[in-house]
A and B are shown apart, each in its own frame.
Chain A
Amino acid sequence: MRDELDLMELADRYLRGEMNATERAAFEERMRTHTELRERVEDQRALLGGMQRLALRPAVEKAYRSYRFGKWAPGIGGAAVIVILAVGGWMLTRESGHSAEWAGDASVQVELRLPLNDTTGTGLPALVMMIDPKADTTLLTPNGLVLDIPQGAFVDEAGRVIARPVRVTLLEAIDGVDIMKAGLSTMSGDTLLETGGMFYIDAQVDGQRVGIDPLKPLTVMVPSDQADPRMMLYEGAMTEEGVVNWRDPKPLPRTLVPVDITTLDFHPPGFLAKVAVLGKDATDKAYTDSLYAAFECGPAALGARTRVLPSSAPVAMAGVGMSVNAFNAQWSELATGAPTDSSAPFIPCGVSPARVRAIWNERFNGTNLATREFEERMREIHRTCDNAVLDLYVQNLNTDLSVLDMQVARMGHAVFSGFARQNVGQVALPPDAAVRLRQVYEAWSRAGAEAARRTHQHFWDEQVRHDQQSDQRRTRHSMTEQRQQAELFQKEFAANLAEACRQLGINKTGPSSEPPITAYVVRVTNPGWWNVDRAVFQATADRSSMEYRDPNTGRKAVITYKEVVVNVVNAEVFEELQAYLIPQGLNSYQRMDGVNGRFTSNRSSALRYDLFCMGMQGDRPFAAYRRETGDSTHIRLEMHETDEHQLRRLFSAADNALADRMLELTSHQLWSIKDARRRTSNAARAALHRALLPVVFPCASLPDTLRERERLQVRTDRPARFPGGKMAMDKYLTVSQRSPVDPFERFILGTVEVHFWVNVDGSISQIQVAKPLHWSCDKVARQLVRDMPRWEPAITNGRPRAAKMSVDVRFVGEE
């Protein structure tokens, strides 16, 4: 211990600068090697610093008191002043079970309900002041009480803001002596209170007491050395004995602690959870924000769901020599959805996301809104579905939350009275901030809503346009395809016939080029020609083998159709894989049937074929080409990435016209994939929107209203419909077409318009040919309509009804 003490002495002397140069150098040298000593010196240096601080503290504290209590706050808001009002006095107190406890503490009290001109009864000096209610006024009393009077706080009986100077009287009792001298009690009924300060405020104009706008309460700060959370505000009432009874305690406003507003969650309750459930990334705030922003209440937003009907339009099947065009008006209308219904009634749906976004940003940091307490209220605000509630909070940033809670509760939202009981105060703002932020809020909510609406509208208008265009394009393409297939049939038929004739030794190279327009074909009796034609026609139509023996010459004609199977390597990585046989010299192509990269089709022995296959991998086209398939029955194809240039070169080697045709086919496929993706993504977008809608706009009326709208639409809008829609009907007509057809039809071009009734049960009756073409075509058209599957009847007012329909059956002849 001796050593320690010596060390301490040395350190002391060193720090106090009492050593001479030699001693000092020696000591410093010793410190360098002696860790313990060095630490000791450092510690003592710190303690010395601490001691100095300790010594300076009283001076600083004393200066604070002088600053705080020594004078009126200079020059704030013009007039110095005081305040409050009509209810009389208030006392900040804490209930205390033991008088001893009370006796031990300094007490402060203020008076209450004194007759106005009789303040002398308490012996307390009254502070009386005229204040200008048109400006904010802050007052600091000699005892340290701070009184804040917001501009326009005083109102008359009718609630009108008072502009004339107001005479404010303030009494305060801050220490025990004052309280005793004033004869103020600290009793609440029989309970003894421990007081934190008493004050009395009165405000008058022309001798009349005035009221205080509940939205602009005066703020009183009673100085205290330590905050006791049990302190409550009591209202004082003068009893008949002339003693003040403190009653009706209210908790003091809780201090609001602002946090970073962007860490709070202002989304509607359950929004993020729902987003997560839907398989999206709910933790990505940028994403969820933009998702939320996409919602805007109003007809346009809701209309989108009816407008986006995902269309799974299959590529139309190729037909033989005939195509059908039906119901363009009705079908295309259904496919593009109902037009924007701007006349739809406004549906109250919930708190506008634009408003929420207007406040949910750094600008509102450090305000009432950037608090956990407001976050809690925000959830309930969403449940009220009332923008006015949110507006109230945002437009009164310089008002205690509890005051606003009360207002909202009075608007009929009971849950807010619970909030009001929490008695939460406000975050102090610089004088102009509230007004400025209010303007920001109004401007941003308007702009945000408008932008969301416009973006939304623009997007879906654009999509509707795309849908229409793509429907048209598909129809056009399927027409072209059908024409192409009809053409192929004719050419294949001609080739087969030529081959058969060659085998039979008949000098006939193809069907007559002169159309038998007389049409009395039944009278033609040359069986050889007829039979050959017929057999070859049949074989070509079915792509099946045939054998024909000429009864006159005994010669035989054989046309064989042999199946070829194509397997594409790695087929699973390609989308929209298609394989085509390309008969050489026919300037046409034959689509192969197949799935999963395995395609089959029959080849005619009368022709030689090339093979072409294409598919997409992402946005990149891949293709495979085999020149001359020969007799192989199984072909394995490997796909390679390609581009338009390569394809053109490939096909141009054979035939320029074919190249054009194949390129158009490829580009159509490319487009078709993209269009399908667009539709899928729109459908997903619409589905997400739909799924989130009840969360974002939680008001119960919303889903009902929507459902009602949908139901109405179904009831009124739905016409009779071929099962599966237009595409299904196209398919039906083209497929049915493959059965034997009068060969002469192929020479006839035109349209047969057939009218018929779809009965309430969906059956077809009263078939009429409204616009005939040729009797054989009319007959075919009539049969096609007769044999159609049962329709879905038209619905009016929720009930099926019979409807008269019209179908155009187009016959595409040789061109």
Chain B
Amino acid sequence: MNEKEIISQLRTGDTHKTLVKLYAHLPKVERMVCSRGGTRADAKDLFQDALIILLGKVKDETFTLTCSIGTYLYAICRNRWQEELRRRGRFTQELEALPEEPQDLAALLAQEQRFAMAERALQALGDTCLELLKRFNLLNEPLLSIARAIGLAGEGAAKTRKYKCLEEARKRYRSLLAQGSIATIKHI
């Protein structure tokens, strides 16, 4: 399966199967992380994040890879781990450069860093809030049916609730942002 097929699989086909296959690149990341002061758990977190970034990217129809998918994932992990080491103040030396570094990685990772913070902020919300936001934003359900599903009085209540939830998330996100960098993301 070449990179194009993998991407189209991720877009339309059996995402699960494809993801499982992509995990074949995990050991390489584990080696990199373990030899640089991290654990396998750190490696797994990084790798899963990289998969999520990839999944987010492939939604964009214009997304094309400039390198192999393994390199892409590895590069993301490597950069993130470097960042993490810098944060821990441990290793100052640069990790070895990759021959074919994906383009615009820095910008992408900066954006993903913000998204990751937002994710953390959202995780801290209550289940109802999460459900509501998910249905509204991701599933594009109308407010009325959402209200029914989660037991709210009506569209207005759902709207107000949504506002409150979003404001709460935003507040947390802002405070995370103010704290600066973000720790390695813990999986749910």
Whether the pair A67, B23 counts as a contact (CB closer than 8 A) is yes
Whether the pair A428, B34 counts as a contact (CB closer than 8 A) is yes
Whether the pair B52, A60 counts as a contact (CB closer than 8 A) is yes
Considering only CB atoms, which chain A residue lies closest to B122 in the complex? A50
Shortest Cβ distance from B138 into chain A, in angstroms? 5
Considering only CB atoms, which chain A residue lies closest to B174 in the complex? A43
- CB of B142 within 8 Å of the partner chain: no
Secondary structure of the A contact surface, majority rule: helix
Whether the pair B116, A53 counts as a contact (CB closer than 8 A) is yes
Interface centre among B112, B120, B137, B159 (most CB of A within 10 A): B137
Residues of A within 8 A of B120 (CB): 50
* Contact code string A625-663 (vs B, CB < 8 Å = 1, else 0): 000000000000000000000000000000000000000
Residues of A within 8 A of B115 (CB): 46, 49-50, 52-53
Whether the pair A46, B118 counts as a contact (CB closer than 8 A) is yes
Whether the pair A48, B137 counts as a contact (CB closer than 8 A) is yes
- CB of B20 within 8 Å of the partner chain: yes
Residues of B within 8 A of A56 (CB): 51-52, 55-56
Considering only CB atoms, which chain B residue lies closest to A6 in the complex? B163
Whether the pair A54, B119 counts as a contact (CB closer than 8 A) is yes
- CB of B69 within 8 Å of the partner chain: no
Interface residues on B, range: 35 or more
Q: How far is the CA of A259 from the CA of B89 in the complex (A)?
A: 11
**Option from B55, B111, B170 in Cβ contact (under 8 Å) with A43:** B170
**Option from B23, B166, B169 in Cβ contact (under 8 Å) with A64:** B23
Residues of B within 8 A of A260 (CB): 91-93
Considering only CB atoms, which chain B residue lies closest to A15 in the complex? B137
**Option from A47, A54, A59 in Cβ contact (under 8 Å) with B166:** A47
Residues of B within 8 A of A258 (CB): 35-37
Q: How far is the CA of A67 from the CA of B134 in the complex (A)?
A: 27
Shortest Cβ distance from B33 into chain A, in angstroms? 11
**Option from A5, A59, A63 in Cβ contact (under 8 Å) with B23:** A63
**Option from B15, B123, B134, B167 in Cβ contact (under 8 Å) with A55:** B134
Whether the pair A46, B114 counts as a contact (CB closer than 8 A) is yes
Whether the pair B35, A60 counts as a contact (CB closer than 8 A) is no
- CB of A430 within 8 Å of the partner chain: yes
Residues of B within 8 A of A230 (CB): none
- CB of A285 within 8 Å of the partner chain: no
Interface centre among B37, B167, B169 (most CB of A within 10 A): B37
Q: How far is the CA of A105 from the CA of B1 in the complex (A)?
A: 42
Residues of A within 8 A of B56 (CB): 49, 52-53, 56
How many Cβ-Cβ contacts under 8 Å join chain A to chain B?
A: 132
State how many residues of chain A have any CB contact under 8 Å with chain B.
Answer: 40
- CB of B64 within 8 Å of the partner chain: no
Residues of B within 8 A of A259 (CB): 37, 90-91
* Contact code string A68-88 (vs B, CB < 8 Å = 1, else 0): 101000000000000000000
Whether the pair A57, B188 counts as a contact (CB closer than 8 A) is yes
Residues of B within 8 A of A48 (CB): 118, 137
Whether the pair B170, A44 counts as a contact (CB closer than 8 A) is yes
Whether the pair A57, B37 counts as a contact (CB closer than 8 A) is no
Whether the pair A67, B166 counts as a contact (CB closer than 8 A) is no
* Contact code string B16-58 (vs A, CB < 8 Å = 1, else 0): 1001101110100001001111010100100010011001100
Known contacts: A54-B123, A259-B37, A427-B35. The answer to whether A60 contacts B19 by CB under 8 A is yes
Chain B contacts to A: CB under 8 angstroms: 15-16, 19-20, 22-24, 26, 31, 34-37, 39, 41, 44, 48, 51-52, 55-56, 59, 90-93, 111-112, 114-123, 130, 133-134, 137-138, 159-160, 163, 166-167, 169-170, 173-174, 187-188
17 contacts between A and B (CB under 8 A): A5-B160, A5-B163, A43-B118, A46-B115, A48-B118, A49-B56, A49-B115, A50-B116, A59-B15, A60-B52, A61-B187, A66-B20, A67-B24, A70-B20, A227-B41, A259-B90, A259-B91
Task: Knowing that A51-B133, A53-B118 touch, tell me 20 more A-B residue pairs with CB under 8 angstroms.
Answer: A46-B115, A50-B115, A50-B116, A51-B122, A57-B188, A59-B19, A59-B55, A62-B19, A63-B51, A66-B20, A70-B20, A255-B39, A260-B92, A366-B35, A366-B36, A427-B34, A427-B35, A428-B31, A428-B34, A430-B31
Chain A contacts to B: CB under 8 angstroms: 4-5, 8, 16, 40, 43-44, 46-64, 66-68, 70, 227, 255, 257-260, 366, 427-428, 430
